């Protein structure tokens, strides 16, 4: 029976245990002994080396102690998460300077030696660093970067923390440094410093023990975000960026509450106390060792490291990926990113697979940095939220994305690391596809994130033995080139998830509505189409927005996830979310050679790669003028390239139909009303392939 030492020093036994051993262990009344390992390792798997290489990350000698499971639970030190949040106390008003005539910005002082050195917040704001050195979600910012950043810390995602990293020899507050701060405030950020009362600002810096070696000064402005306002425009998602306090009101008197209302809340940020520390990603010691090991290896790898984080659902993989990307951007000008998860895409709407070249830090969830077009970007429309039905097409598109990365790397004279976002599918076909992606991408590092309590969320140990024995996806026809020799040489690193456990004392207080994967997909769709509105505050219903008109003769129609008769195309596409694509004309056929009708794809003779140029809403179909009316935020230059509309399994959010001001009923809707005569969005069907022309209202009976 083989054993595997993970990054946290615990031993887990190989699943290839004989039946006799498993039966004996199940019949035994006494629990079997386990081992505790106090050394930390990273494992390096090499195809040419049958022995596993172990790299020690500390100088302590390995100590193996045999103990029972009860003793292990008693002796195992419990992780005190609050230690990672020293300084993330309920934020105090004296750290904020707001003595301005027009009150259009504020200054926050973080002082390392006073214990008020970090700010954990929710909301959104524009941020610039006036003085010092800080880190936000892994990205380091110094006062030489005179740049504004947009920070998004929604209620339903991991909160952002601004960590003061200023720690160097310096001096106490003096007049020369004070004048330099004022000069930078005026020249670099184009702010009105005449409104500052010099005496009060000096008093503010002195009161906060300002020190050039340990203090950082933040400048905060309100962020007028159209996408945030548009998301909160809909009732179901008002809590995403809601204006609520993150601290205990009993701890603060009413006068302080008013001061907060006049300062921080006006600028869109809401400090939260250490009670909420589970909702933020802070690097712990083990994670720091992992990142440092990856960065150290990247220095030695002139070809560019290929890093593949893996883990089941809800283990914090997406949050860790954004943190990892930001840490890499501290060192490299560009970081490549391949998105292999069509259900929870990072830079596109769902149902897509994409290659992205990232040069800016990620300070928010996916809906804050959507981008379907741009230089050095390729996006393919899979049409499914899971590759369950089309694994071959899924692998083919991933191969195309990887070829794009190899082509870019060959043209560049700089090192470009690659980060791969894998799916959280941890059984069956999901593991088969994971094996194929590992063979395809040949990662240099595989970071496996395991949940410490809910073992059903974890994957098997992704070592070389698993690669050799696990089933893959059969390679046939055009996918034959995906099967190569297992020339793999990667480091396997295991990390314990920072995601909160169910029924944990670290759950959010007060509890907030958790969003499902579908909710996150819908929020991304709302954020994408928010740009259709001219105003940042007042929003029109989608049937009041001006669409593009495109002739039938210029477009072909295709439904990816189902076979639809040509006569039913208009019913399926009307009031639907569609992918805007461009393909060669040779792939398009016309009904009875009639060029006035929309075309369709000739899939009997060709295999078509559907590139995604963006998304649109078919606002309507004019049967007299033979035109489609399409709403899209993409520019006209992109729309001129489109000759194919693709319908997949990603549908419009119900909010587009149910929360729009209209004098007439919404089309294609089947509405169920509850006993309270209130619409239940969970029971509304908008599946285009099952549409009705009548609106039915039914009343649920009491059980």
Same domain, 143 and 265: yes
365: nearest Cα among 150, 198, 560: 150
Q: Are residues 57 and 100 in the same domain?
A: no
Cα–Cα distance for residue pair 364/149, rounded to 1 Å: 11
Confidence of residue 452 (pLDDT cuts 50, 70, 90): confident
Residue 176 lies in a domain: yes
Rounded to an integer, what distance in angstroms lies between the CA atom of residue 284 and that of residue 297?
20
Residue 703 pLDDT > 80, yes or no?
no
Same domain, 347 and 369: yes
What local confidence, expressed as pLDDT, does residue 68 receive? 42
Could you report the per-residue pLDDT of 241-270, keeping only the tens digit for each?
865 433 333 433 334 444 444 456 667 777
Predicted local distance difference test score (pLDDT) of residue 473 = 82
Residue 507 lies in a domain: no
The reply to whether 209 and 298 lie within a common domain is no
Residue-wise pLDDT tens digits, 185-242: 888 887 777 666 667 788 888 888 888 888 899 998 888 889 999 998 888 898 888 6
- Evaluate whether residue 534 is within a structural domain: no
Which of the given ranges, 13-27, 112-126, 246-260, 662-676, has the highest pLDDT on average?
Answer: 112-126
- Specify the DSSP class assigned to residue 258: H
Q: Identify the domain boundary among 465, 496, 527.
A: 496
Do 116 and 96 fall into the same domain?
A: yes
Name residue, tokens 């010691």: 285
Give me the phi and psi of 296, to 5 degrees please: -65, -45
**Are residues 138 and 40 part of one domain?**
no
The tokens describing 51, both together, are 């022995």
**Of residues 41 and 403, which shows the higher confidence score?**
403
Which of 279, 298, 329 delimits the end of a domain? Answer: 279
Task: Determine, yes or no, domain membership for 513.
Answer: no
Mean pLDDT throughout 349-366?
A: 96
Better pLDDT: 146 or 255: 146
Q: Does residue 120 share a domain with residue 16?
A: no
105 phi and psi, to 5 degrees? -160, 165
pLDDT digits (tens, 9 = 90+) for 280-314: 555 566 777 788 888 888 778 888 899 999 999 88
* Per-residue pLDDT, 115: 59
Q: Do 391 and 448 lie in a common domain? A: yes
Are residues 281 and 323 in contact, defined by beta-carbon separation less than 8 angstroms?
yes
Q: What is the pLDDT of residues 358-378, one digit of tens each?
A: 999 999 999 999 987 777 889
The pLDDT, as a whole number, for residue 468 is 85
Q: What is the CATH number of the domain that holds 563?
A: 2.40.30.330
Does residue 354 sit in helix, strand or coil? strand
Buried b / exposed e over 520-540, threshold 16 CB at 10 Å, is: bbbbbbbbbbbebbeeeeebe
Cα 150 from chain centre: 16
Could you tell me if residue 464 is inside a domain? yes
SS3 assignment, position 648 = coil
pLDDT of 106: 84
Query: Which domain, by its residues, includes 8?
Result: 3-78+285-496
Q: What's residue 8's pLDDT? A: 32
> Is 427 inside a domain boundary?
yes
Domain annotation covers residue 535: no
pTM (two decimals): 0.80
- Average pLDDT taken over every residue of the chain: 75
Residue 365 shares a structural domain with residue 465:
yes
Report the number of secondary-structure helices (H) and strands (E) in the chain: 15, 32
How would you class 586 by CB atoms within 10 Å of its CB: exposed for 0-12, middle for 13-18, buried for 19 or more? exposed
Please tell me whether residues 216 and 332 are part of one structural domain.
no
Same structural domain, 603 and 678: yes
pLDDT digits (tens, 9 = 90+) for 545-567: 899 999 999 999 999 988 888 88
Show which of 227, 246, 279 is a domain's final residue: 279
383 Rama sector, left if φ>0, alpha if ψ -120 to 50, beta otherwise: left
In this structure, the answer to whether residues 51 and 158 fall within a common structural domain is no
Give the pLDDT of residue 258. Answer: 41
Average pLDDT score over residue span 341-353: 96
Short-list 81, 445, 499, 153, CA closest to 318: 499
Q: What average pLDDT does this structure show over 437-463?
A: 90
pLDDT of res. 272: 66
Phi/psi at 280 (5° precision): -130, 150
For the cut 60, the answer to whether the pLDDT of residue 478 exceeds it is: no
Classified as helix, coil or strand, 217 is strand
**pLDDT at residue number 408:** 94
Q: What does the pLDDT look like over 36-70, one tens digit per residue? A: 222 233 444 443 443 333 333 333 333 333 344 44
- pLDDT given at position 515: 84
**How many structural domains are present in the chain?**
3
Who has greater pLDDT, 528 or 694? 528
**What does the angle CA 365 – CA 370 – CA 376 come to, to the nearest 5 degrees?**
125
The percent of residues above 90 in pLDDT, for the chain, comes to 34
For residues 88-93, average pLDDT: 49
27 domain residue, yes or no: yes
Average of per-residue pLDDT across 540-547? 86
**What is the rounded distance in angstroms from the CA atom of residue 378 to the CA atom of residue 356?**
7
* pLDDT value of residue 651: 93
Contact 122, 246 (CB under 8 A): yes
- What lies within 8 Å, CB to CB, of 102 at 6+ separation is 192, 195
| pLDDT confidence of residue 550 | 94
Q: Kindly report the CATH number assigned to the domain that includes residue 371.
A: 3.40.50.300
């Amino acid at each position: 029976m083989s054993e595997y030492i993970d990054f946290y020093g615990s031993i887990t036994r190989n699943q290839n245990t004989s039946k006799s051993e498993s039966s004996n262990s199940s019949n035994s009344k006494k629990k079997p002994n386990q081992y505790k390992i106090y050394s930390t390792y990273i494992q390096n798997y090499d195809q040419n080396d049958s022995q596993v290489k172990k790299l020690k990350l500390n100088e302590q000698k390995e100590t193996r102690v045999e103990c029972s499971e009860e003793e292990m639970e008693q002796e195992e030190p419990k992780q005190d998460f609050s230690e990672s949040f020293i300084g993330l106390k309920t934020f105090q008003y004296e750290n904020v300077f707001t003595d301005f005539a027009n009150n259009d910005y504020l200054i926050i002082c973080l002082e390392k030696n006073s214990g008020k050195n970090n700010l954990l917040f929710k909301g959104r704001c524009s941020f610039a660093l006036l003085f010092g050195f800080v880190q936000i979600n892994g990205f380091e910012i110094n006062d030489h970067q005179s740049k504004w950043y947009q920070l998004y810390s929604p209620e339903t995602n991991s909160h952002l923390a601004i960590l003061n990293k200023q720690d160097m020899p310096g001096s106490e507050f003096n007049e020369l440094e004070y004048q330099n701060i004022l000069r930078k405030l005026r020249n670099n950020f184009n702010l009105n410093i005449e409104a500052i009362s010099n005496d009060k600002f000096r008093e503010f810096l002195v009161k906060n023990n300002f020190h050039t070696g340990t203090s950082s000064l933040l400048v905060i402005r309100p962020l007028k975000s159209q996408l945030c306002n548009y998301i909160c425009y809909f009732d179901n998602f008002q809590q995403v960026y809601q204006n609520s306090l993150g601290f205990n009101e009993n701890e603060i008197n009413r006068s302080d509450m008013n001061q907060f209302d006049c300062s921080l809340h006006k600028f869109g940020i809401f400090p939260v106390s250490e009670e909420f520390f589970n909702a933020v990603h802070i690097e712990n010691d083990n994670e720091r060792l992992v990142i440092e090991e990856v960065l150290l290896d990247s220095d030695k790898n002139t070809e560019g490291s290929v890093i593949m984080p893996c883990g089941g659902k809800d283990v914090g993989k997406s949050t860790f990926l954004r943190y990892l990307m930001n840490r890499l951007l501290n060192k490299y000008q560009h970081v490549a990113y391949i998105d292999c998860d069509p259900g929870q895409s990072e830079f596109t709407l769902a149902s897509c697979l994409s290659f992205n070249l990232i040069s800016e830090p990620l300070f928010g969830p996916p809906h804050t940095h959507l981008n379907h077009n741009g230089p050095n970007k390729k996006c393919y429309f899979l049409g499914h939220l899971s590759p369950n039905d089309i694994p071959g097409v899924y692998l083919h598109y991933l191969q195309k994305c990887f070829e794009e990365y190899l082509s870019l790397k060959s043209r560049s004279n700089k090192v470009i690391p690659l980060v791969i976002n894998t799916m959280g599918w941890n059984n069956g076909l999901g593991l088969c596809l994971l094996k194929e992606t590992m063979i395809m991408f040949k990662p240099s590092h595989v970071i496996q994130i395991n949940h410490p309590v809910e073992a059903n969320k974890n994957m098997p140990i992704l070592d070389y033995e698993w690669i050799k024995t696990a089933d893959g996806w059969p390679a046939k026809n055009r996918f034959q080139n995906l099967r190569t020799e297992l020339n793999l040489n990667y480091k396997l690193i295991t990390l314990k998830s920072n995601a909160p456990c169910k029924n944990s004392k670290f759950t959010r207080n007060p509890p907030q509505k958790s969003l499902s994967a579908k909710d996150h997909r819908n929020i991304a769709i709302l954020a994408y189409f928010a740009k259709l509105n001219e105003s940042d505050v007042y929003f029109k219903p989608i049937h009041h927005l001006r669409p593009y008109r495109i002739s039938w003769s210029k477009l072909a129609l295709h439904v990816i996830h189902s076979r639809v008769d040509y006569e039913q195309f208009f019913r399926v596409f009307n009031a639907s979310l569609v992918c805007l694509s461009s393909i060669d004309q040779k792939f398009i056929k016309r009904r009875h050679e009639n060029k006035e009708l929309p075309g369709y794809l000739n899939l009997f003779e060709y295999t078509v790669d559907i590139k995604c140029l963006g998304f649109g809403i078919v606002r309507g179909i004019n049967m007299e003028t033979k035109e489609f009316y399409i709403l899209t935020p993409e520019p006209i230059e992109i729309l001129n390239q489109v000759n194919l509309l693709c319908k997949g399994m990603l549908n419009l959010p119900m909010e587009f139909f149910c929360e729009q001001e209209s004098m007439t009923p919404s089309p294609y809707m089947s509405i169920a009303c509850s006993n309270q005569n209130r619409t239940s969005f969970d029971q509304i069907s908008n599946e285009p392939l099952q549409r009705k022309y009548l609106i039915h209202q039914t009343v649920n009976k009491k059980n």
